[in-house]
Structure 1
Amino acid sequence: MTPVELAATGGHAVAEHLETSPFAVRGLTVSYGGEPAVFSVDMTVPKGAMLAIIGPNGAGKSTLLKAALGVIPKVSGRVTVHGAPLEDQRRRIAYVPQRASVDWDFPTRVIDVVLMGLYRDLGLLGRLRADHRARAQACLARVGMEDFADRQIGQLSGGQQQRVFLARALAQQADLYLLDEPFAGVDAATEKAIIAVLKALKDEGRTVVCVHHDLSTVRDYFSHVFLMNRTRIAEGTVAEAFTEATLQAAYGGRLATAQIDRLAAV
């Protein structure tokens, strides 16, 4: 069995039973205009993992995540959260979309954006209490944005907006965090702040899944990887699945051999 075939069996990730996996996808297919953007993907995220979904541009990384969550339609596939259908477990999930997909001109304050993360607790007509506002303020403090609570969201920089959306996710107090390219277009200070929060969530026993594009930070940031190019290439721990063979299989000629060798080096 080749290294790619070994990694594609899933390593420790596939050994994780569906009943205990916080996020498992089976046979997910998404089609745009008759062409498959994601084809028959299986993915099993181990509990407590910090996992990066990686692959070349156009590989279907964001499509996979959005289709799994029901944000966009899928042709086929099944998604479970802790062994139960995703639809029954949404309270356990916090999702941070790509910043580019958000209407930042919407006239709302930073604190109000974070309070939106509490809607499941409040219900449609629920009344905000002092403890809700304190919880939202604490989440802003955790991402270094406590002094911006009354600022209009459109007045913030891109990095600051991303921190606010992470604070909103934190307010949900989920045990599964799904983030679509959280580091895209942010400054170095924001990236450092975000990764510190995500690692703290992992240390608390939460599970974190990120669509990620910067291969140079994979070893420093993540415990597990899922490599794809429209279909699954490999999954497992970074040591198992982030290798020269799997990177070559996923990226092919899009990465120079020297670059792959450097990225895969332990």
Structure 2
Amino acid sequence: MNRAQLGAALRALRVASGKEAKAVARSALMSPSKLSKIENAKLAPSATDAERILTAIGVSDEVKAEYTDAARASATEATAWRLLKRIGVHKGQQAAKALEAQMSTLRLFQPALVPGLLQTPEYIRAILKRHNLSEDALTRTINGRLERQAILYDNAKSLRFVITEPVLRWRIVPAQMMAAQLDRIASISRLPHVDIRVVPLAIQQQDIASHAFVIRDDRMVTIETVHAEVVVTDPRDVSLYVDKFERFEQVALAGADMRNLIEGIRNDFLREQETG
């Protein structure tokens, strides 16, 4: 439920109750102006705002819980992983593909995992297994992510990736598969419209690699947390992520230097495989 739908629903509930806006606003501890803005989708209500309005209207606890949860989701634009799993994780891949088709520039920062667009099938499977999906859902989601990777060969797009060195060393799959994953990253980095950079551990850092995020055309930031996917669209907040990406991009290795680092780590994995 978006802001407009939530505002209209709150207004409809108030009208149906027969209560005047001024009376509801007073009981909800807010100005009539604020209530009007919420009802007309000019202001997104917080979960607390929604709860106070609904209490003032006098709805049932069940209705109050439903719309308070909707307000919480609308305000943060967060979708819990359990909900995505319920509707089908593969549909999340379809939604991401649609977003990527519409954008011209992607900037992705990843301090923990190889970015999805760069992952090998084996790496994808290892990552997705943590969701406890059925084999059918797992296969469909893997195929969806592989289909998304076609964007890597679209010369009309500008794709910029910044990952940290631990990403290259984190053992998601066995050593031989990790070596193959690193080969893929190095190979894709040679595409003219793809820029892949690695922040090495040896460089003094001025920022904190808090979590992964994706910026699409300076208009939207997608963040994956432990419990949910969060979408940020406020320009002021988006700019914070753009600045953070650029700070890491400036200190990261690119081109031949980046590929030399990857090759060294890849060779370590291969030697481990040979002696294992």
TM-score tier by shorter-chain length is under 0.3
- Structure with more contact order per residue of length (Cα contacts < 8 Å, sep ≥ 6): 1
Question: Greater strand percent: which structure?
Answer: 1
Q: TM-score, normalised by structure 2?
A: 0.25
Q: TM-score, normalised by structure 1?
A: 0.26
